Copies of this chain bind each other. A is one copy, B any other.
Amino acid sequence: MTEDALTDAAALTRLRAAPSTTALGAGTLLRLLRDGRPRTRSELAGATGLARSTVTQRVDALLASGLIGPTGEAVSTGGRPPTTFSFRPRARVVLAADLGATHARLALTDMAADVVAEARADLDISLGPEPVLDWVVERGRALIAQADRDVSELLGLGIGLPGPVQHSTGRAVNPPIMPGWDGFDVPGYVGERLAVPVLVDNDVNIMAIGEHHTAWPIASHLMFVKVATGIGCGIVSEGRVYRGAQGAAGDMGHIHVATGADKPCRCGNTGCLEAVASGAALAAALTEEGVPAAGARDVVELARNGSVPALRALRQAGRDIGEVLAASVNMFNPSVIVIGGALALAGDHLLAGVREVIYQRSLPLATEHLNIVSSEAGEGAGVIGAAVLVIEHCLSPEHADRLISGTA
């Protein structure tokens, strides 16, 4: 098997893993071409098993959509040299919003999730869905104009929300810090203003996707832990977000830990990880110790200034988080654990505590090749992940077919 054939085989395996309800259409060819390598019509027919006439038809549709373009001529084997085609990642743009409790970040990217333009704002999520989403739409239009692009070139919009989201409908479900958002039809509201697909997910899932895309693209099983006011986890397994049966996977903040004892948690239970190791819990405990702190950012500030109680608290929080992760390492055997979120900005004390307990408690086979690291994508992870979510959805064979035929 030649190297090219291997590349095609790998690309085809990946595209078959994508859900689809249609036969192999133009979207399948697009998926194959997304690796950037130019291919002739014959190569596309050979790689997919599609009839030559079908390939010609679908290549024409892709050319008309602008998603692929001719790249040159292949080496001729006699006669007129055949044209090669490749994917054009800049043909469309994507809007991606990462909405936090009090801050919002918006990015315009291309179809490789590379950021073209960006905006930030102090925006309180508790204002409710309409003003917040109006800001996303208006600021989004401005970013598109600023980048000399047109709204007609918009592929889709991805939004991360700071609370539980039912991914299939894009609605928030009982979000504790988002008054007015419960059950609100986010894709419906935004889709009326920007006629493109709108994908909504919770903030930690989009951060996990962004981190995977940026720093660990070939990792098979990645867990991204966000340690901020609360504690949550996003899981990327075999290239896709692992959501579990009800989409509730990754809710690690309410797992019981030994040091939790019967300490009350905001969820109504006692002894949860979040009740002892979150930014809110650490700030409260330090304040009680006589070291005043209002939240996660104050704890980080104290730690940076060398406050021993703050450093001790961060180290112990790391151990508590490590206790939960050590069990997950034995049960689910990830290859990468990334520690991110506001508390992770305080230096290596949190990470050291996590590592200490995982290496002490997990099985040697499961930790032999395990990476336990800080976030590399940093604060930009969310918007990159939201963009990747949109790109993977819209360019999946099923949806790309509709996009290409112009019905999406």
Contact = CB atoms under 8 A, between A and B. Distances in A.
B327 A245 contact: no
Interface in A234-258: 235, 237, 242-252, 254-256, 258
Interface stretch (A22-30, A93-101, A199-207, A303-311): A22-30
B327 A369 contact: no
A284 B208 CA distance: 45
A54 interface: yes
A105 interface: no
B252 A331 contact: yes
A325 B294 CA distance: 35
Contact of A23 (B49, B252, B255, B331): B49
Majority secondary structure of chain A interface residues (helix, strand, loop or mixed) = loop
A167 interface: no
26 contacts: A13-B20, A16-B18, A16-B20, A17-B17, A17-B19, A23-B46, A24-B24, A51-B51, A221-B245, A237-B237, A244-B366, A245-B335, A245-B369, A245-B370, A246-B368, A251-B330, A251-B331, A251-B333, A251-B363, A251-B365, A254-B363, A255-B361, A258-B258, A267-B363, A327-B328, A331-B332
Contacts of A332: 235, 242, 244, 249, 331-332
A83 B333 CA distance: 49
Most buried by B among A21, A49, A249: A49
Interface in A110-147: none
A27 to B, nearest CB: 11
B361 A245 contact: no
A334 interface: yes
Most buried by B among A46, A251, A370: A251
A281 interface: no
Nearest to A243: B333
A245 B222 CA distance: 9
Interface string A350-373: 000000000001010110111000
A323 interface: yes
Contacts of A16: 15-20
Contacts of A15: 16
A408 interface: no
A139 to B, nearest CB: 32
Given A255-B331, A324-B331, 18 more contacts: A9-B20, A9-B21, A16-B17, A16-B18, A16-B19, A24-B49, A25-B49, A49-B50, A50-B51, A164-B365, A220-B245, A235-B332, A246-B365, A246-B368, A250-B331, A255-B326, A256-B327, A324-B327
Top 3 A-B residue pairs of the complex, sorted by shortest distance between their CB atoms: A244-B333, A16-B16, A51-B51
B20 A247 contact: no
A173 B256 contact: no
A370 B245 CA distance: 9
B221 A256 contact: no
A233 interface: yes
Nearest to A51: B51
A52 to B, nearest CB: 8
Contact of A249 (B25, B247, B269, B333): B333
Nearest to A336: B245
Contacts of A19: 13, 16-17
A249 B219 CA distance: 16
A190 interface: no
Interface in A1-47: 9, 12-13, 15-25, 46-47
